[in-house]
Amino acid sequence: KSNNILKYSERAALCSNGLSRRLFTIMEQKKTNLVLSADVTSSKELLQLVDKTGPHVCMVKTHVDILEDFNQDVVDSLTKLAAKHDFLIFEDRKFADIGNTVVHQYSGGLYRISEWADVVNAHAIPGPGVVQGLKKVGAPKGRACLLIAEMSSSGNLATGSYTQDTVKMAEENKDFVIGFICVSKISSNPSFLHMTPGVQLEAGQDSLGQQYLTPSEVIGKRGSDLIIVGRGIYQAQDPANAAKQFQIAGYDAYVTRMAE
Ligand code: 5BU
């Protein structure tokens, strides 16, 4: 069976990494493949947004370095909300340096990302050392990493053999790499997660190169697993309701795909 027709629970059973198993289980239980991209700049706004939309998401993606008032309380509160609503925390840090440098960027500095983020992501451009560095810090804490195999922005260079080589790098580090940021299914291994940003209820683009596809295109036609939605939710008049609409659209596309 390909990963297009396996249920989340069946895929959970195939995962060797505890975090991907947990994510598939949450997706099945909460009936959602929605990742909220909580790209607001005040911590109060962030926590309110996450509390409101929490019931509809399986994961919350952060950019902590855009917060104007970051402090330890923010991540403590975020962690409590993750337990309350049962979602994972993904810091979209996009590590892209040599192993020794990412060790410090991941564990130290102001943000101490490895202390609170279940999942982080990395570019494959430095080679496998970036994964080895992250793994050294993250694996003992039960963390995991996604590799950026494709991007949603127009004119990006993560295409063709770069994408294929990124998939290979993931396969060689399966204990720590649990999947990809991508815009279509790029691996037939059912334990890998495919997560796609650039999603709105209508296709289009913004003024700075972001390109949008719909949930049914991303999950149904392109065979990805999770939709990542930022402005489509937090700029809506009613973010909780918008999250619910994306939850329904994304989950319907998954159910329809399995029935085909
Ligand atoms: P939007 O508001 O739904 O356009 O936000 C998309 C989010 O996903 C935003 O946080 C980006 O940094 C992130 N993103 C992306 O849009 N495209 C990519 O290829 C990658 C990340 Br990698």
Q: ipTM score of the complex?
A: 0.99
Rounded CA-CA distance 147/49 in Å is 27
Cα(212) to centroid(ligand 1), Å: 10
Rounded CA-CA distance 43/139 in Å is 28
Can you tell me which atom of ligand 1 is nearest the CA of 235?
Answer: 2
Residue 20 CB–ligand 1 contact under 6 Å: no
Give the model's pLDDT for residue 13.
Answer: 94
Cα(37) to centroid(ligand 1), Å: 8
Say if residues 249 and 201 touch (Cβ distance below 8 Å).
yes
Please, which pLDDT band fits residue 3 given cuts at 50, 70 and 90?
Answer: low
- For residue 201, give every residue at least 6 positions away whose Cβ sits within 8 Å of its Cβ, in sequence order, or none: 214, 215, 232, 245, 246, 249
Strand partners, 147: 122, 180
Residue 228 CB–ligand 1 contact under 6 Å: yes
The string of pLDDT tens digits covering residues 143-186 is 999 999 999 999 999 999 999 999 999 999 999 999 999 999 99
pTM over 0.95: yes
Residue 229 CB–ligand 1 contact under 6 Å: yes
